Amino acid sequence: MKTRIFHPEREKDAVAEAAAILRNGGLLGIPTETVYGLGADALNETAVAHIFEAKGRPQDNPLIIHVPDDKSWLARYCQDVPAEAYALAERFWPGPLTMILKRRPIVPLRTTGGLDTVGVRCPDHAVTRAIIAAAGVPVAAPSGNTSGRPSPTTAQHMLEDMDGKIDGIVDGGPCAVGVESTIIDMTVTPPRLLRPGGLPLEALEAVLGTVAVDKAVTGKLAEGERPRAPGMKYRHYAPHAPVTVVTGMPHRSAGFISRHMGPEDGVICFDEFAPLFDGHAVHRLGAAADKGAQARHVFDALRTFDATDVPRIWAQCPDDAGLGLAVGNRLKKAAGFHVEDGGQALIVGITGPTGAGKTSALEAVRRLGGCVLDCDAVYHEMLANDEDLRHAIRDAFGDVFEGPRLDRQKLGNIVFQNPAAMAKLDAIIFARIPAELQRRMALSGADLIGIDAINLVESGVGALCRRTVAVLAPAEDRVRRIMARDGISEDYARMRVAAQKKDDYYRENCTDIWLNTSPSAEEFCRIAMENFQKIQEEINHE
């Protein structure tokens, strides 16, 4: 069989011809916002049987049916539809949500794998909805991969698995979401999440209140245990090489992997950490904080490793919030739930005006066995070593380097008199510092990290921190301290203190304010140690 590729954006009859394939009992690859599906007329048992053959899919694994954006279709194929199901359809369709509902007899048992329920969803893809509406039948469509392979997120992926086995594939571009739909069973109370997917659990909870989470979502089922979504029992999305998933804070999982991996091993990591794994086969998932990007890349990451001969794959895993639950679930399934925990760490940002006692607070971090990262020092090391940063500065300000060294005066002359130039320099630096800090934290392995940052708030470094501490002190104390520390006159000390940000700024922007009225640095350091321990206890109880 020759598999035809449709390009609906330039072929005006594509929708009608693709719909005809469905109506005539053929098999059609369809784009959706989640992943590509392998579609056939859900009411035609022979066509449905061909889906199972083309995928090599076990017969007891039911298919979900796809409907256009018209809620009347729900009542046509399902019965006893609860009001909450209509509320979800209203709120989230078209979109990455599949609801399990009681089936009407018109839906063949072959489609539902013998179950008296059926999964229904309305995909958020205009071309596919037009094709379904034109075909006039609900379309049964599992993900368009060969059983056991990662789900396809481009027409090309789908062609790799299905070329010659199906009538056509509609090329609708890369999938916007990248992981399959969220599946919720609406036939039980409370409704039960069977598969995390493109619609976050939190969004369902906002409409339904309580949602139960099926055991198969987070862990491996025992031998012989039956999941409620039959497909969850199969080892899906498995690349050839064994996968180990590492959970924990991003810098902890990266550190864990770099300490445990072999020289030939491959890595699936967040963008920030790719430089730590130089010399290895690396696939980036997206930035640590960008779960949308991670969802779009997770299957591609697993697929690309099949073309390499790495003996083992290590994968950094996001936390469970938002799309992280779905991304983590796909990685863990690929790993057969082989999961290691890189652990947590307390990251505290420390800031405050000069003379208030920030240095003593940082000393407290060291005495507690923690690691201190000084943003200013990191920036200066990057100026000397980081080609990307040097390049960006050269691009913006011309040649301000003297060989490897920055000519500070030259750069200062450009930026100090010109607020727009200063903002540009800040933007260049602030875009790079957090990633560099993440890498250094990964290498340190410490469970307490103190980040010394004057521009904690503006630089975005605060976003890496669980708590942000501002050390403040009365102006008179600060004048006295910096006179003693820097050997300067009282007038000059007063001028420097007056030029600093006001206390209110810190009160508005930091989570913790420590007022230093201690007579000695040593005493304040001891107080700071106690404060860090209190924060640790508070976090353990959260």
Q: Which residues contribute to the site for ligand TXA (CB under 6 A)?
A: 32, 34-35, 37, 61-64, 98, 100, 112, 115, 117-119, 121, 123, 141-143, 180-181, 183, 194, 228-232
Gap between the Cα atoms of 145 and 152, Å rounded = 6
Least distance to ligand TXA, CB of residue 34, Å: 3
Residue 204 interacts, among ligand TXA, Mg ion, none and using kind-specific CB cut-offs from 5 to 8 Å, with none
Half-sphere exposure of 384 (CA within 13 A, CB side): 6
Least distance to ligand TXA, CB of residue 209, Å: 22
Residues 6+ apart with CB under 8 A from 402: none
Residues 6+ apart with CB under 8 A from 443: 255, 258, 276
List the helix and strand counts (H, then E) for the chain: 21, 24
Least distance to ligand TXA, CB of residue 313, Å: 22
Residue 100 interacts, among Mg ion, ligand TXA, none and using kind-specific CB cut-offs from 5 to 8 Å, with ligand TXA
Residue 472 bridge partners (DSSP): 515
Gap between the Cα atoms of 64 and 254, Å rounded = 37
Count CB atoms within 10 A of the CB of residue 395. Answer: 9
H or E element at residue 282: strand 281-284
Helices (H), 316-368: 324-334, 358-367
Least distance to Mg ion, CB of residue 115, Å: 17
Closer to Mg ion by Cβ: residue 34 or 143: 143
Please tell me whether residue 253 binds Mg ion under the rule CB under 5 A: no
Residues 341-400 within binding reach of Mg ion (CB under 5 A): none
Fill in the amino acid letter for 163. Answer: D
Residue 468 interacts, among ligand TXA, Mg ion, none and using kind-specific CB cut-offs from 5 to 8 Å, with none
Closer to Mg ion by Cβ: residue 118 or 497: 118
Residue 35 interacts, among ligand TXA, Mg ion, none and using kind-specific CB cut-offs from 5 to 8 Å, with ligand TXA
Each residue 133-152 as x (binds Mg ion by CB under 5 A) or -, in order, gives ----------x---------
- The single-letter DSSP state of residue 71 is T
- The single-letter DSSP state of residue 181 is P
Residue 183 interacts, among ligand TXA, Mg ion, none and using kind-specific CB cut-offs from 5 to 8 Å, with ligand TXA
Q: At 192, phi and psi to the nearest 5? A: -125, 130
Place of tokens 């449905």: 48
Least distance to ligand TXA, CB of residue 470, Å: 46
Least distance to ligand TXA, CB of residue 198, Å: 7
Closer to ligand TXA by Cβ: residue 64 or 497: 64
- The single-letter DSSP state of residue 280 is S
Least distance to ligand TXA, CB of residue 180, Å: 4
Q: Which residue is nearest to ligand TXA (CB)?
A: 231
**What are the residues binding Mg ion (CB under 5 A)?**
143
